[in-house]
Chains A and B, each alone.
Chain A
Amino acid sequence: MRPWSSRSPFHPAVLTHCVAVTLVLWVWGSPSLVAAERPAPDLGAGKDAYRQHCARCHGATGRGDGVDAKRFYPRPRDLALGVYKFRSTASGTPPTDENLFQTISQGLPGSNMPDWQHLDEGVRWQIVAYLRSLSPVFEKVQPAPVQLADDPGPARADHAKGKALYETLGCAACHGSAGRANGPSAGGLVDDWGMPIRPANLTQGWSYRGGHDPRSVMLRVLTGIDGAGMPSYAEALSPEEAWHLAYYVTSLQEPVHWNLVARAVRVDDSLPSAVDDPRWAEADRTDLQLDNVVNATGEWASPPTVNAASLEAVYNDEAIAFRFTWDDPTQDLHAPHDGFALLLKPVGSEGDVVTLQAWPSAGAPPLDVCYWSAERGTAWEAVATDFDSVTTPSVSTPPFLQSASGYQDGRWRMVVQRALHPNHPRGAAVVTTEAFTSIAVAVWDGGNPGSRAVSSWIDIALREP
């Protein structure tokens, strides 16, 4: 096998050029998207387009029971119930046609609902008319748009006021005081469709489905998220205050770098070994989106609780140190406990593990697993063909790695060091300046037993200063 080892769709030569490329977040909610011209409703045309594009998820009759439905969290909406999350209208009233048009046009980022920008605007409007015909709610109840105030703009938004509102309004009960989806009520939420649901991690702007710009957030607060348990605050704060709160919430969003190549920075002296070593600030941050591994029937056992992890890496002549950061709503030190694994693809192994979703699987080659256990507070390394043989260390005494960790307000940080060229375990992955090494991560949340979240593969590159 070639030194690049990974059979990821990106060729290394291309990758070198994309080193600095980060995926830019789509800004949702710009009103300009709403078409000026709207065709006369034609239910037949709307139905045809729906059958063609939407039925596989939302079901032939809109009951949310399409063939693909069970694979997704959240599930595709049962459109016959007439309960809509993303509206500009009062809680309990249906969305406006423009709201529906916007959802269809922009999709719901952070969920499996794609955008339908490529469909003709006219077709999108016909689909809107068809969606309305699926639930009697549109006939019975008029959408009642919430009262809005003018956008004060970022300069005039009052951060302190927004923060105070976040506290008095009890957002933290669900979202946590730092917005990391770890409030005391976060664990027990059930949506109107009977599925467990988690509050949004407000630091992850990319995961907001209805848009992460201040205007969208302001609407979510005033209208509530019907069906999801998040209440409307229209009677609890003024439209002006809603803007201050919205600007505060957007300030919680952290910038993300979905790098395809993570760069490790070279240092001459010793590697940082503490989670809060100031030198981490000089390293590049790379974010990895995580997906829960689905069970054998392809269904979600429970909603994912860990959705992303970020890493920084630093190396010297002998070793490389990684700092990983991930939000996990609960700190679980006893079984089932939290855990984290850095996986490296040893060069020259036969075959390939294209995605960790499908690992372990029969015939898949071994991977180098650096596993950290919150129960033991230590990390060790093994070359294995499955996770179980690594996470249960009784099997053999693996080489222990130097590690440190800390948990604070819904966030784990963990530092682990390993040799660039480890002598053991046998077959361990080598990290060199000559080639990229494929890495990925896996995260266990003890508070969400049976769940394992995994990233896709990226490459780590050693960078001279």
Chain B
Amino acid sequence: MTRSRLLSTVGVIVVAIGCGSGKPQSASAQARSPEHAEVGAPTQLALLSESPQPASGHSAATIQGVVRLSGTAPQRALVKMSADPVCQQQHAEPFYSEETVVDEQGGLKNVFVYVKQGLTGAFPAPAEPVALDQSGCWYRPHVFGVQADQPLGIINSDATLHNVNAKPTLNQPFNIAQPVKGMKTTKKFAKPEVMVKFKCNVHPWMSAYAGVVDHPFFGVTDEHGAVTISGLPAGTYVLEAWHEKYGTQTQTVTVADGETKPIEWTFSTQ
């Protein structure tokens, strides 16, 4: 019956470990290059294949971004999971919302940074999926990037029903049930769209955001607000930083071959 049908699909995937451990997602161009691959990088399902970087060689530029929040950061809200004992049981410690996460220096986590304008040429979507895991009744990662047409592997690691209600406006929405632990569904978004929101109706505290872009030059800030986008061809670009609460900011940057360019963004609580 259901179980066997579901589990057969599950057997073939390599589930990322360490989800939600706080490791940021780096730009996929970087993550895919073996020397940079981070252990436990939450969003790469399979880091095994070595597809070439779009602008390989030493001539490519790197953006070293830092995103900060000025003003007093709001308290992280305690997430109440008592509605579902399966969720509750997985958190011995209080669990806090990931909406606004800042470190002592004001580094803002979970900002999606990507090249909005200035790229030429096409960047074929990687075949390896990005993973979105539902574990501890939480989406891991909370904010991530994916290329248009790149597979997105959605996994339920909880022994309770989750539904994945994706609400894009440019892409095709869907709302699918994943009632059984280990169930996996692969979806793709055909068009660039920043951002696509995911929510779970069963557990209304769960939400995730995906930045869908048609190139690999994107990243999500880590707990120190840092993000690296590498392999970028020399040129002038409009970069955008998106945060779920504080909105978007853009900057125009020019990078030369081999350059590593530091960039800062500051969002304000006001």
Interface residues, chain A, CB within 8 Å of chain B?
83, 90-93, 141, 161, 164-165, 168-170, 173-174, 184-185, 188-190, 192, 224, 226, 229-238, 241
Contact = CB atoms under 8 A, between A and B. Distances in A.
A381 B7 CA distance: 60
A94 B72 CA distance: 45
Given A185-B203, A231-B201, A236-B6, A173 B84 contact: yes
Contacts of A237: 2, 5
A83 B166 CA distance: 13
Given A168-B2, A185-B83, A188-B204, A229 B177 contact: no
Contacts of B173: 83, 91-92, 226
Contacts of A161: 1
Given A92-B166, A170-B179, A173-B160, 12 more contacts: A165-B1, A168-B2, A169-B2, A173-B84, A174-B201, A185-B203, A230-B201, A231-B165, A231-B176, A232-B176, A235-B183, A236-B178
Contact of A229 (B166, B183, B201): B201
Given A184-B84, A185-B204, A236 B175 contact: no
Contacts of B185: 235
A168 B177 CA distance: 11
Interface string B24-67: 00000000000000000000000000000000000000000000
8 contacts: A169-B2, A184-B84, A188-B83, A188-B204, A192-B167, A224-B175, A226-B175, A233-B176
Interface string B1-20: 11101100000000000000
B1 to A, nearest CB: 7
A236 B167 contact: no
A226 B172 CA distance: 12
Interface of B: 1-3, 5-6, 83-84, 160-161, 163-167, 172-180, 183, 185, 201-204
A92 B175 contact: yes
B127 to A, nearest CB: 21
Nearest to B168: A92
A224 B177 contact: yes
Given A226-B173, A229-B175, A236 B203 contact: no
A169 B174 contact: no
A168 B180 contact: yes
Contacts of B172: 92-93, 141
B174 to A, nearest CB: 4
Contacts of A238: 2, 5
A224 B179 contact: no
A236 B204 contact: no
A226 B173 CA distance: 9
Nearest to A224: B175
Contacts of B174: 90-92, 232
B169 to A, nearest CB: 10
A192 B167 CA distance: 9
Contact of B175 (A174, A184, A190, A231): A231
A173 B202 contact: yes
A169 B203 contact: no
B175 A235 contact: no
A184 B176 contact: no
Given A92-B172, A170-B161, A236 B202 contact: no
Contacts of B6: 236
Nearest to A229: B201
Of B2, B164, B204, most buried by chain A (CB within 10 Å of CB) is B2
A174 B84 CA distance: 11
9 cross-chain pairs, A with B, having the tightest CB-CB distances, nearest first: A170-B161, A231-B163, A229-B201, A231-B177, A92-B174, A188-B204, A184-B83, A169-B179, A92-B173
A231 B198 CA distance: 13
B161 A173 contact: yes
B12 to A, nearest CB: 15
A236 B201 contact: no
Contacts of B164: 231
Nearest to B83: A184
Of A93, A169, A170, A241, most buried by chain B (CB within 10 Å of CB) is A170
A170 B201 CA distance: 12
Of A161, A230, A236, most buried by chain B (CB within 10 Å of CB) is A236
Nearest to B183: A236
